[in-house]
């Protein structure tokens, strides 16, 4: 058991290192670099950058060195906990990401809670009352969420919210709270703004969850112990909720691991459309600007979280399901 954990951890380190190299390469694939991106964006806003300045900036940021040198420099910094300076932001990368991290986590958790709270009951109902009218309705509604492209749904929901309900357009806070220090009122303001992002983000995941829950529960419901429980006179709701549902939830444990990177990154596209101050749009803008340190750090962070998440999932699964544990011996 311990040997297994140790081996997995070593493999994890190897994986993370491979991810770091890959992330670096991916960010450098587009031709040009941060300085060309900077010049281009300045030109697009009607301003000028001279050639001399461009050369100086390039030298300053070390962009004129070969890519391997840049990589090792970045790795060296990272291992020492210094993730570099975000070029566009003029602040350390940890600060830029850190600012947005807590809000990202809040939104992602809200979306996850929404998804699970909606999908699990529907999944259970669908399995128990299979092929009923409501089963079809729920399945259908659940799937609609999967089918609508997220960016379009976000725009429509945002506009409808504004036009029909006078809601604030996008963002997470009302203008008067945006700059204010944290307080109970501000927290309440945040909660009031969470439904739209949570729904738009969560809607796509519900269909998948419903489908999985439904089929897992169906598998369980056919098992003999369910029939036994019924024959023994247990009320129906206990028959279902107490045993099969809990067993049906087991596979979800393995998906918890994959939630980890999602919680931290949020959804990039939907966050962009809704103008949520999360890590997602930050990553996208960093990639476009070819801000090597910022983009590289975020990608590396997400990669590490995925590896950790998978690891946690595997451990949890082993712990819950004795068959896997015993099978290893």
Q: How many residues touch other proteins (CB under 8 A)? A: 109
Least distance from other proteins to the Cβ atom of residue 233, Å: 27
How many C-alpha atoms does 196 have within 13 Å on its Cβ side?
27
- Choices 13-21, 186-194, 227-235, 319-327; region in contact with other proteins by CB under 8 A: 13-21
Nearer to other proteins, 5 or 56 (CB): 56
Contact positions with other proteins (CB under 8 A) in 276-305: 276-277, 281, 283-285, 287-290, 295, 299, 302-304
Site for other proteins in 97-136 (CB under 8 A): 99, 131-133, 136
Nearest to 217 by CA among 95, 122, 323: 122
Contact between 156 and other proteins by CB under 8 A: the answer reads yes
**Residue that the structure tokens 């929404």 belong to:** 114
How far apart CA 206 and CA 141 sit, in angstroms, is 10
Quick one: 61 or 229, whose CB is closer to other proteins? 61
Which residues share a beta bridge with 86?
Answer: 91
Q: Name which of residues 157 to 176 contact other proteins (CB under 8 A).
A: 158-159, 162, 168-171, 175
How far is the C-alpha of 51 from the C-alpha of 61, rounded, in Å? Answer: 15
225 forms part of the interface with other proteins (CB under 8 A): no
Candidates 71, 75, 78, 88: give the one binding other proteins (CB under 8 A).
88
Nearest distance, CB of residue 153 and other proteins, angstroms: 9
Per-residue binding letters, 19-58, with other proteins (x by CB under 8 A): x--xx-xxx-xxxx---xxxxxxxxxxxxxxxxxxxxxx-
Residue 266 and residue 278 in contact, taking contact as beta carbons nearer than 8 Å: yes
Contact 291, 57 (CB under 8 A): no
In this chain, which of 63, 74, 96, 112 binds other proteins, going by CB under 8 A? 96
Burial 26-65 (b: 16+ CB within 10 A, else e): ebbeeeebbbebbbeeeeeeeeeeeeeeeeebbeebebee
């Amino acid at each position: 058991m311990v040997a297994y954990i140790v081996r997995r951890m070593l493999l994890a380190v190897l994986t993370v290192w491979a991810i770091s190299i890959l992330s670096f390469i991916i960010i450098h694939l587009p031709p040009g670099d941060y300085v060309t991106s900077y010049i281009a964006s300045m030109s697009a806003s009607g301003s000028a950058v001279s050639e001399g300045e461009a050369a100086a900036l390039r030298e300053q940021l070390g962009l004129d060195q070969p890519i391997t040198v840049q990589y090792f420099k970045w790795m060296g910094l990272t291992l020492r906990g210094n993730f570099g300076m975000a070029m566009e932001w003029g602040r350390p990368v940890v600060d830029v990401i850190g600012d947005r991290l807590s809000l990202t986590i809040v939104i992602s958790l809200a979306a996850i809670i929404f998804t699970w709270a909606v999908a699990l009951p529907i999944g259970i109902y669908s399995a128990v009352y299979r092929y009923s009218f409501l089963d079809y309705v729920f399945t259908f509604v659940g799937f609609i969420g999967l089918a609508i492209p997220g960016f379009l749904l976000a725009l429509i929901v945002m506009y409808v919210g504004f036009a029909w309900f006078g809601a604030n357009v996008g963002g997470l806070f009302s203008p008067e709270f945006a700059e204010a220090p944290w307080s109970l009122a501000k927290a309440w303001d945040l909660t009031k703004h969470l439904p739209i992002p949570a729904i738009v983000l969560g809607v796509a995941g519900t269909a998948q969850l419903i489908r999985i829950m439904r089929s897992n529960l169906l598998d369980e419901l056919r098992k003999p112990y369910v029939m036994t429980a019924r024959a023994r006179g247990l009320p129906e709701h206990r028959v279902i909720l107490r045993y099969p549902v809990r067993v049906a939830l087991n596979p979800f444990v393995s998906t918890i691991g994959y939630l980890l990177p999602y919680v931290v990154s949020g959804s990039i596209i939907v966050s962009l459309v809704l103008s949520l101050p999360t890590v997602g749009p930050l990553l996208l803008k960093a990639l476009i600007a070819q801000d090597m340190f910022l983009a590289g750090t975020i990608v590396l962070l997400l990669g590490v979280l995925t590896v950790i998440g998978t690891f946690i999932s595997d451990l949890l699964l082993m712990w819950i399901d004795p068959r896997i544990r015993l099978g290893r011996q």
